[in-house]
Amino acid sequence: MGNVGITLSTADPAGANMLRAFRDLGFEETEGNDILRLGDVSLFVLGHLIVPAEKYRMPLEPRPYPADYDGLAARFGIDYYVVASKHWSSSGTPCLTVHPTGNFGKAVYGGRNRELQRVLANPMRDVFMEILRDPPRGYEVSLEATHHSPTEFKTPMFFAELGSGKRQWGDEAVGAYLAGSILDGIATGGRAPVAVGFGGGHYCPTFTVLESETAFGHICPKYALDLVTEELIGQMVEQTLDGVDEAVLDGGMKGHQRKKVEVAFKKLDIEIVER
């Protein structure tokens, strides 16, 4: 892979934490304080949130929101972005997560309704495997299902997140670990068979285990299965840009949900695997 972009927001406490870590890793300003570089990796710093904070309310500015990532990609030759971000959950569980973005239904936190963002499964797996290598004590590491914005960009991207509350977002040691894992993952260039996933919970316990041998792109969790159409299944495949070898079905799918997926993948001539 050629040039890679990392992006974060200083309005996000985890993003601000990781910005300090990236500077410590050697990133230096090239064109003001908002664009830093280290070798072939560019770091784009935003002053506003990347994922909108309010449900169903997309900020009016800037357009496109949160930045012209495709314009930056054309200017700097960016092949894909890693979004270094906070993760929030009501449980407050300390965690490090990785996931693609998109909306299977209405756009609750930005993006467009029923649209999935482009993603590269193997680079996402590379970062995930680095995070999994030696995580900070007490932190859970998992994939997450596809959710929230952005959804509209041609340049693929995925999120790498630090959660799940203020204490974790500001933990400099954990922020440094995640920043280092992102950078090491970018340098890996691994190649594993690519899959899309269906079923299971939001934190994808089955797919998280399988990620050691399979690179997952888009994942539709159990709670979104009734929203999935043949068109959205097509998006899951098309927007996973490194080519989908199989569809993996987790347990607990209802009969009509399974049938819908089976019919779609028969048309796509892609193998279905049950786990």
The mean pLDDT of 38-61, rounded to a whole number, is 96
Which of 218, 239, 220 lies closest to 118 in space, CA to CA? 239
pLDDT of residue 141: 98
Residue ranges of domains in the chain, CATH in brackets: 3-186 (3.40.630.50), 194-274 (3.40.50.10700)
Note the pLDDT tens digit of each residue in 52-110.
Answer: 999 999 999 999 999 999 999 999 999 999 999 999 998 889 999 999 999 999 999 99
The mean pLDDT of 249-255, rounded to a whole number, is 91
pTM, full prediction: 0.97
What percent of the chain has pLDDT above 70? 100
> Strand pairing of 3-9 and 78-88?
parallel
Q: How far is CA 107 from CA 69, 86, 101, 151, 158, in A?
A: 19, 19, 11, 9, 17
**Chain-centre distance for alpha carbon 211:** 14
Q: Is the pLDDT of residue 238 over 90?
A: yes
pLDDT of residue 31: 77
pLDDT of residue 1: 55
Note the pLDDT tens digit of each residue in 141-166.
Answer: 999 999 999 999 999 999 999 999 99
- 24 — phi, psi (to 5°)? -65, -30
DSSP track, the chain: --EEEEEEETTSHHHHHHHHHHHHTT-EESSSTTEEEETTEEEEEESS-SS-SSTT---SSSSSSS--HHHHHHHHTEEEEEEEEEEE-TT---EEEEE--B-SSS-SSSS-TT-B--B-HHHHHHHHHHHHHSPPTT-EEEE--S-SS----SS-EEEEEEEESHHHHT-HHHHHHHHHHHHHHHTT-----EEEEESS-TT-HHHHHHTTT-EEEEEE-GGGGGG--HHHHHHHHHTBTT---EEEE-S---HHHHHHHHHHHHHHT-EEEE-
pLDDT of residue 7: 98
